[in-house]
Structure 1
Amino acid sequence: MWNKVRSWFSSGDSNSIINYDFLDQSKKTILIIDDDIPQHDKSSGSKRLFELIKIFKKMAFNVIFLPNNGRPDEPYYTQLKNLDVEVLLFNPGRKSMLRKLNKLLSAIDYAWISRPMLNRAFQPIVSKNKKVKIIFDTVDLHYIRMLRQAESEQNEKLKRKALKFKKLELQLAKNAKATVTVTDTEKKLLEKELIQNVFVVPNIHELSIPNHEIPFSERNGLVFIGGYKHEPNIDAVKWLINDIMPQVWNALGKIPVYLLGSYPNEEVLKLANIDVIVPGYIEDVSKYFLNAKIFIAPLRYGAGMKGKIGQSLEFGLPIVSTTIGAEGMNLIHEKNVLIADQSKDFANQIITIYQDEQLWTKIKKNAFQSIVNYTPTAVEKQLENLFQNLDSK
C-alpha cells in the first residue's frame, strides 16, 4: 500500500492551486500524522498527542492533522476543529486526502510523524519539500517492546521480528531531523546507536486534586486501567488475576479488583467474576481512582512511559508496579511507588501497603510531587528547546 501512495505522489498534481486561507501566514505550520484522530480518553498515546496539539496551538503554530485512516471519528474530530486544527480526511476517498496534502507541502515547516510504519510511508512524501523538518515521534521504541515480550515468552520468531524493527527504527531516526522518545531511558538507547538529535517529550499530566479526599479507612479495592488492544495490558491482567491475586485474596479476603479500559477482548472478559469487575470503556474513571486503595501496574513487558502510571499519579493514588511499568518517570521504590517483578513479591507489596496507612500516606504524598515535570507547562519548555534546536540548523 505504501509504495502505491508514494508512486501516486510522484505523479500527483503538485502544481495545482490551493487556497491557504485557513493558514495564518505569520505563523509556522506543523503537520501531524498518526493512525487516527486521537481518542484521548481511550489510550495514553492518544492522550499525549491530543495534549501536544493543544500545546502547539498555544505556541502559535498552524496545525494540520492527517489521520491515516481518514475518518472523522466523533466527538474527537469536532474537538480538533474547535481547536482550529485543519484535519485532512477521505473526501470522498484516500486520494483526495493525499492530493490535499501534496498541495499543502509548500506551506509546511515541520512534520511530526508518529510511529515507525507511518514514518516509513510518509517520510519520503513529506521530504519532497526539502525545507520541511521531519520529527520522528517513536511513541515507544517498538523493537524494545518486542524484544522484552520475546524474552518473556521465549519466542525466537518474535525476537527476529524485533531485530528487523530495530533496523527500521534506527534508519527512520537517521533520516529525520529530530527523533522524539517519551523517556530518557529510550533516548539513551538511541544515542548508544549513534542517533543524534534525540529529544524527550513525555506523557502530559495535570494534577487532579479533589475537593474532598476519601481517607484510607474508607477506600476499598485495587484498580488497573489500560486499552486491551495493547498486548502488554492483556498479559498484565492475566498475570494479576491468575497468579498474584490468589495470594492477595488469601491474605486480605476477597477485595475487589477493577480492570478498567477500552476494548476488553475475550481473554480479559473471561477474568470477570464477582470480585473482578471488567466494565469496559468508561468516559469518567475518576470515581474508581478516588475510591480505590491502590493502583496496580503488573506489566511484564512494554516500552516507553506508561500513561496509566501518570494517570494514577495525577490522583495521588499509591502504585504497585513492576520495574518496566515504572520505567521512565524517575520513580523510586518505597518513596513514590512500590516495585516488584515476581508474583510473590508483587502480592506481598499489595498486602503490605493495603494494611499500612502510614506507608500509604507517604507514597500518596510523594506521588503528587513526582508528576510536576510532566505538566503542560513543563512539556512546553521541552518543545521550545526542540524547535529552537531545529531552527538553528
Structure 2
Amino acid sequence: MAKKLLIIGLVYPEPTSSAAGSRMLQLIEAFQAFGYFITFASTAQKTERSIDFKALGVQDVPIELNSSSFDGFIKTFQPEVVLFDRFMVEEQFGWRVAENSPMALRILDTEDLHCLRKGRERAFFDKAEFTDEYLFSELAKREIASIYRCDLSLIISGFELELLKKQFKIPEELLLYLPFMEEPIDEEAQRKSPGFSERNHFVTVGTFKHEPNFQSVLYLKQVIWKLIRKKLPEAELHIYGAHLTQKVEQLHHPNEGFLIKGYVEDIKETLQQYRVCLAPLPFGAGLKGKLIDAMKSGTPCVMSSMASEGMFGALPANGFIEDDAVLFSEKAVEIFTIEKTYSEYQNNGFQIINRLYDKFYFNKLLLDTILGLQEVLEQHRQKNFIGSMLQHHTMQSYKYMSKWIEAKNN
C-alpha cells in the first residue's frame, strides 16, 4: 500500500510564475519518486496559472480555516508525512495534525526565512543598516516557534541554515539543507545552448508579487540602465515577470530600450535569447530562482551581493557580483561585449547547477532523512523539548481561539 503525504499549501503553486511554485513542484516530484500518494490541501483559491494537479496524479482537496471538518479529514486520511508550505500554514493546522494524526512526520518547507526577508525590507525602507533589531522581530518569534514545533524544516539556503544554527541556536537535527533540485545539464545540452553571437540584449526576470523584484527593476530604470545605454546605445533591457501592476507598466519606455514584457510561459527558452541577465536585488532572502533559471539557460549574470547570497558555495559565480552602480554597469557591458568573459561565466553556471543543485543527490538525501526520522520519531521528539513545550502551549491557545472562531461563525 502506498505511503501517504499530505501537503497543506498557503497558495496553489504557480511553477511558471515564481520560484516558490517551482520549488513545490520539485518536492512533489521527489515524493512521487519515493512512491508516495500525494494529497494537496489548501484554503486558497486557484488561479489560471495554478499547477494542474490532476495531470500530475495528485489529489487536491479544499479545506477551511478554523473548522473541525479538517480534523475528520486527517483522521480518516492518516498520512505518514505532512508537509506545511510555509510557517503560517503550520500555525493554523499544525496543532490539528498533532492532535488527530500524531504519528505523522511533520515537515516545514520554509521557502525562505520570512523574518529575514521582511527584516531586510524594513531596513531598506528605513534607509538603515540591517541589524539584529530587524531580525529578532515578532515575525521571527512566530517563524522560529514553528520550526521548533516541526520534526524537520527544509532550509533552501546555506546562509539561512547557518543563521538558524548560530543566531537562533536551533539544533541541527531539526534542519535539512535542501536547495532547488535541478536536472543535471549534460555536455550535449551545454553544447546546444545558444552561443554568444546567437544572443542579444539584456534581461531581468521575477514575479512582481515580490517587492524586491519591483525595487530591482526601479533601480535598473532610474540608475543602471542609463549607464549601460551610454556605452551601448542600441542595447535593450527586456523585463519579464508574472503579476504585472500599473506601477511596473509605467516604466515601459521603448525609446530608451526599456521594455516591460510581462509573463512568459517558458522562462528557460526565453532566457536563452539573451546575452546577460541583470539582478541588482536590494533585499530578499532564500535562493534566487531567476539566477537558477539563468544558469540553466546558459545566460551569465551581473548581480548584487544580496542576489548572490547562498547561491554558489565555494564555486566561482556565473557572472559578476557588484553593489556599486557604476561597476555593475561596467561589468554588464564587459560580459555583453567580450565573448571570452561570456563563455567563462556561462560554463561556471552549468558547473554550479551540476555540482550544487543535483536533483538526484538531494532527492536521496531527503528520502534518507525522512526514513531515518521515522525510525526514531519518539526519541527525536523527546529530545526536542522546546518544540514539545511550544506545541503544548500552541495547542492550548490556537485550539481554543480556533474553536471560538468556529463557534462564532456557526
Aligned partners of 1:234, 1:126: CA distance in 2, in Å?
Answer: 37
1:188 corresponds to = 162
Stretch deviating more after TM superposition (381-390 or 261-270): 381-390
Distance 1:178 1:366, change over 3 A: same
Q: Which has the higher helix share?
A: 2
Distance apart, 1:76 and its partner CA: 4.2
2:182 corresponds to = 205
Aligned partners of 1:198, 1:289: CA distance in 2, in Å?
Answer: 34
- Over residues 201-231 of structure 1, what are the superposed CA-to-partner deviations in whole Å (9 max), with x where a residue is unaligned? 2123335737844331342111111000111
SS in 2 for 1:371: helix
Matches within 5 A, 1:370-389: 370-372=352-354, 373-389=356-372
Matches within 5 A, 1:153-232: 153-154=125-126, 163-192=137-166, 193-196=168-171, 197-206=174-183, 209=189, 212-232=192-212
Aligned partners of 2:146, 2:70: CA distance in 1, in Å?
Answer: 24
Unaligned segments of structure 1, at least 5 residues: 1-25
SS in 2 for 1:229: coil
- Over residues 73-130 of structure 1, what are the superposed CA-to-partner deviations in whole Å (9 max), with x where a residue is unaligned? 45745x312332121126xxx4899625633335112111021211211111111122
Distance 1:389 1:186, change over 3 A: farther
Q: Is the contact made by 2:105 and 2:374 (CA closer than 8 Å) also made in structure 1?
A: no
SS in 1 for 2:261: strand
Aligned length: 362
1:105 paired with 2:75, answer yes
Stretch deviating more after TM superposition (377-386 or 332-341): 332-341
1:17 corresponds to = none
1:124 corresponds to = 95
Matches within 5 A, 1:1-393: 26-69=1-44, 71-73=45-47, 76=50, 79-89=52-62, 94=64, 99=69, 102-105=72-75, 107-128=78-99, 129-154=101-126, 163-192=137-166, 193-196=168-171, 197-206=174-183, 209=189, 212-274=192-254, 275-330=257-312, 335-372=317-354, 373-393=356-376
SS in 1 for 2:306: coil
Q: What letter is aligned with 2:83?
A: W
Distance 1:283 1:115, change over 3 A: same
1:7 corresponds to = none
Distance 1:95 1:112, change over 3 A: closer
C-alpha root-mean-square deviation of aligned residues, in Å?
A: 2.4
Higher relative contact order (CA 8 A, sep 6+): 2
Q: What letter is aligned with 1:40?
A: P
Q: Is the contact made by 2:20 and 2:111 (CA closer than 8 Å) also made in structure 1?
A: yes
Distance 1:227 1:68, change over 3 A: same
Q: Is the contact made by 2:295 and 2:318 (CA closer than 8 Å) also made in structure 1?
A: no
Distance apart, 1:42 and its partner CA: 0.6
Distance 1:150 1:56, change over 3 A: same
- TM-score normalized by the length of structure 1: 0.85
Distance apart, 1:54 and its partner CA: 1.3
Aligned partners of 2:88, 2:245: CA distance in 1, in Å?
Answer: 25
Distance apart, 1:137 and its partner CA: 1.2
Distance 1:324 1:102, change over 3 A: farther
Distance apart, 1:133 and its partner CA: 1.8
Distance apart, 1:154 and its partner CA: 1.9
Q: What letter is aligned with 1:102?
A: G
Unaligned segments of structure 2, at least 5 residues: 377-410
Q: What letter is aligned with 1:316?
A: G
Distance apart, 1:161 and its partner CA: 8.9
- Over residues 288-325 of structure 1, what are the superposed CA-to-partner deviations in whole Å (9 max), with x where a residue is unaligned? 31221101111110000111110111111111111111
Stretch deviating more after TM superposition (371-380 or 134-143): 371-380
Q: What letter is aligned with 1:200?
A: Y
SS in 1 for 2:137: helix
Q: Is the contact made by 2:300 and 2:346 (CA closer than 8 Å) also made in structure 1?
A: yes
Distance apart, 1:255 and its partner CA: 0.8
Percent identity reads 24
Q: Is the contact made by 1:28 and 1:108 (CA closer than 8 Å) also made in structure 2?
A: yes
Q: What letter is aligned with 1:172?
A: S
Q: Is the contact made by 1:32 and 1:64 (CA closer than 8 Å) also made in structure 2?
A: yes
Stretch deviating more after TM superposition (380-389 or 172-181): 380-389
Distance 1:75 1:169, change over 3 A: closer
Distance apart, 1:362 and its partner CA: 0.7
Q: Is the contact made by 2:15 and 2:22 (CA closer than 8 Å) also made in structure 1?
A: yes
Aligned partners of 1:96, 1:146: CA distance in 2, in Å?
Answer: 26
Q: Is the contact made by 1:146 and 1:162 (CA closer than 8 Å) also made in structure 2?
A: no
Q: Is the contact made by 2:224 and 2:329 (CA closer than 8 Å) also made in structure 1?
A: yes
SS in 1 for 2:204: strand
Aligned partners of 1:281, 1:54: CA distance in 2, in Å?
Answer: 24
Q: Is the contact made by 2:4 and 2:81 (CA closer than 8 Å) also made in structure 1?
A: yes
Distance apart, 1:366 and its partner CA: 1.6
Q: What letter is aligned with 1:134?
A: R
